[in-house]
Structure 1
Amino acid sequence: MSKQKASKGLGRGLTDMPHYQNHFSSESKHKHPLFRSSDKLKEVSSSQNSPRIIGKMAGDIALVPIGQIIPNKDQPRTEFDKNALKKLANSIEELGIIQPITVRKLSALKYQLISGERRFRASQLVGLEELPAYIREADDKKLLEMALVENVQREDLHPIEIATSYKRLIDECNLSHEKLGNLVGKSRSSISNQLRLLDLPEEIKIALVTKKISQGHAKALLSISDNPDYQMVLFGLIKDENLSVRLAEEISRKGKKKKRKKKPTFEITDVESEAIHEINLRFSQRVKLVKASATSGKIEIKYSSQEELDKFLDKLSY
């Protein structure tokens, strides 16, 4: 790195904030790994094993040796874009770390990552030896909850990642839809609608993840889940014809009309038919048998005037 480029990053990051300016002299700021490229890291003493408190920002922030930090096995995000990590690494190399990571203390020299894995991985690419971190006490359940909540608030997540994180928060952290909504700043209905995306066929979910369809398209497809054949036809049209969300919604509404469920019919037996015939003859009335199942139903008596009804009731009383 040229001297000109190195100087551009000096003084930035956490130490440029008023909270930290008193913690770094001009000399120490130039030697700190958060503000130097990897070719200058050898200047930092490797004998420094314990985290050092450097300031406060919603809690104590300490510089933790990166070698003492282990990833969170319950990290909800399993894939990290290599190009995005490289861009972040370049930013860290030039500007320093702006947002501390959060870790949980496991032992005197061991910490587990709670949030900030992209910053952690990018810092490893740069070659930093220390990272600014909040050190929190959290049990495993709380650890997972904190990691998931931070994850769903990222702007670059695809809808299935968000829905999966919601489901894990509900299933593994025993959160209700309402409590989850309060945690992530969403309405209860928004949480429920997001979770429904997980009910889509795998082919449609993959298309949503790879951005071949939008979340608006996915919602239109969800509205005809009870008609899977029509759903896949519409899915094909969205992909092949590049349908707008509005047009997809219009087509899905037509599909719902076509799929109106027909009530099941049950055949009237000869015995039942004969009985209805006898009733009609006896009361001179239009009587109809409506079967609800093979063994149950109702008898409907039709009349066209009050006088006709009165005559029928008189015959019943004999």
Structure 2
Amino acid sequence: MKAVKKQALGRGLSALLKDPENDIKSVEDKNADKVVGNIIELELDAIEINPFQPRTSFNQEALQELSTSIKELGVIQPITVRKLDYNKYQLISGERRLRASKLAGLTHIPSYIRIANDNESLVMALVENIQRHDLDPIEIALSYQRLIDEIQLTQEQMSDRVGKKRSTIANYLRLLKLDPIIQTGIRDGFITMGHGRAIINIEDHDAQADIYQKIVSRNLSVRETEALVKSYHESLLPTAEKSTAKSTSFEVNDDEKKSFTNFFGAKVDVKVDAKGKGKITIPFHSEEDFNRIIKLINS
């Protein structure tokens, strides 16, 4: 069977971009409609990395896997660039594909051409990255913060831009209040965002770090972390408040428990929490035993 020749995307348009007489710098320039928004094969050497890129680390093993895929199948999803000058472009999104293409030995890469100012480029880069599934929570939080600091977007405006609830955005931003060691722990996968959200309720960074060490060393769950944080807050209560809190509860002594057991003819479990609330558990071993207990209660 004759092999199907792979179509070379935008080869003619690529030549158009290299013509000094057709240097397109705005959407109003001649032939801009043939270039802007189209997929064009660009030289890798003509593309510079986006300084607004929020991602700071790339998994080398995953990058190598993508490079191998590109060698076999090519770049399936084009990158997006903005035109800076004559035959000079800046990456907006697709840095993994760009890096992997270089590893694969490619000289050209399919690219969408955009003409954008710095603010537009930053917004596009950050929003595109926020939508990715492989960013860690701290990278996402930093992207949100940059949209606030550099573009002056409110959380409501960001919610509209990225399609996330305002409460979700707020939860990510709160992670940036964590001690830097804990933020690194989240980025490296030692703890989850859930752990971080529990720890953030402690303002003291030394106390945060202490609880972080306990989580890692004991492999604590999020629920166990929340209990640890609660205990920390209770330890900070003044003595008078601790006494008041303790007085709301009571203890069931052994004689009282024994009276329940004797009455029902079964080992009854009685538990009381710190607020004085509790439960009584009466076991039974058969339907006949269950009916016997019901008669005792109703007698």
TM-score (norm 1): 0.63
Contact 1:49–1:109 (CA<8 Å) still a contact in 2?
A: no
Contact 1:51–1:62 (CA<8 Å) still a contact in 2?
A: no
Q: Count matched residues.
A: 223
Matched, 1:163 2:137: no
Question: Shift of residue 187 of structure 1?
Answer: 1.0
Matched, 1:68 2:42: no
Cα displacement string for residues 213-250 of structure 1 (whole angstroms, at most 9, x for unaligned residues): 1111111111122x545433322210111011111112
Task: Decide whether aligned partners of structure 1 residues 123 and 261 sit closer, same or farther in structure 2, where only a CA change above 3 A counts.
Answer: farther
Contact 1:49–1:65 (CA<8 Å) still a contact in 2?
A: no
1:130 matched to which residue of 2? 108
Unpaired runs of at least 5, structure 1:
1-6, 11-25, 35-43, 264-318
2:92 matched to which residue of 1? 114
Task: Decide whether aligned partners of structure 1 residues 61 and 82 sit closer, same or farther in structure 2, where only a CA change above 3 A counts.
Answer: same
Question: Shift of residue 137 of structure 1?
Answer: 1.2
1:96 matched to which residue of 2? 74
Unpaired runs of at least 5, structure 2:
19-30, 241-299
Contact 2:81–2:114 (CA<8 Å) still a contact in 1?
A: yes
Secondary structure in structure 2 of the residue aligned to 1:76: coil
1:254 matched to which residue of 2? 231
Task: Decide whether aligned partners of structure 1 residues 132 and 156 sit closer, same or farther in structure 2, where only a CA change above 3 A counts.
Answer: same
User: Which of these residues, 206, 209, 222, is aligned with residue 245 of structure 1?
Assistant: 222
Contact 1:51–1:63 (CA<8 Å) still a contact in 2?
A: no
Task: Decide whether aligned partners of structure 1 residues 101 and 218 sit closer, same or farther in structure 2, where only a CA change above 3 A counts.
Answer: same
User: Which of these residues, 142, 156, 159, is aligned with residue 181 of structure 1?
Assistant: 159
Question: Shift of residue 59 of structure 1?
Answer: 4.0
For residues 218 and 42 of structure 2, what CA distance do their matches in structure 1 show? 53
For residues 211 and 70 of structure 1, what CA distance do their matches in structure 2 show? 30
1:142 matched to which residue of 2? 120
Task: Decide whether aligned partners of structure 1 residues 253 and 95 sit closer, same or farther in structure 2, where only a CA change above 3 A counts.
Answer: same
1:84 matched to which residue of 2? 62
Secondary structure in structure 2 of the residue aligned to 1:127: coil
Contact 2:179–2:208 (CA<8 Å) still a contact in 1?
A: no
Mean Cα deviation higher: 69-78 or 162-171: 69-78
Cα displacement string for residues 170-202 of structure 1 (whole angstroms, at most 9, x for unaligned residues): 101111111112212211111111111111112
For residues 213 and 195 of structure 2, what CA distance do their matches in structure 1 show? 11
Question: Shift of residue 259 of structure 1?
Answer: 2.8
Question: Shift of residue 141 of structure 1?
Answer: 0.9
Percent sequence identity over aligned pairs: 46
Counterpart amino acid of residue 95 in structure 2: E
For residues 213 and 118 of structure 1, what CA distance do their matches in structure 2 show? 25
Task: Decide whether aligned partners of structure 1 residues 33 and 138 sit closer, same or farther in structure 2, where only a CA change above 3 A counts.
Answer: closer
For residues 50 and 102 of structure 2, what CA distance do their matches in structure 1 show? 16
Question: Shift of residue 103 of structure 1?
Answer: 0.7
Alignment of 1:169-318 (within 5 A): 169-225=147-203, 227-260=204-237
For residues 162 and 241 of structure 1, what CA distance do their matches in structure 2 show? 28
Task: Decide whether aligned partners of structure 1 residues 104 and 261 sit closer, same or farther in structure 2, where only a CA change above 3 A counts.
Answer: farther
2:131 matched to which residue of 1? 153
Secondary structure in structure 2 of the residue aligned to 1:194: helix
For residues 71 and 229 of structure 1, what CA distance do their matches in structure 2 show? 38
Contact 2:191–2:216 (CA<8 Å) still a contact in 1?
A: yes
For residues 79 and 233 of structure 1, what CA distance do their matches in structure 2 show? 27
For residues 61 and 152 of structure 2, what CA distance do their matches in structure 1 show? 36
For residues 110 and 232 of structure 1, what CA distance do their matches in structure 2 show? 46
Secondary structure in structure 2 of the residue aligned to 1:121: helix
Secondary structure in structure 1 of the residue aligned to 2:145: helix
TM-score (norm 2): 0.67
Question: Shift of residue 90 of structure 1?
Answer: 0.6
Counterpart amino acid of residue 199 in structure 1: K
Question: Shift of residue 261 of structure 1?
Answer: 6.8
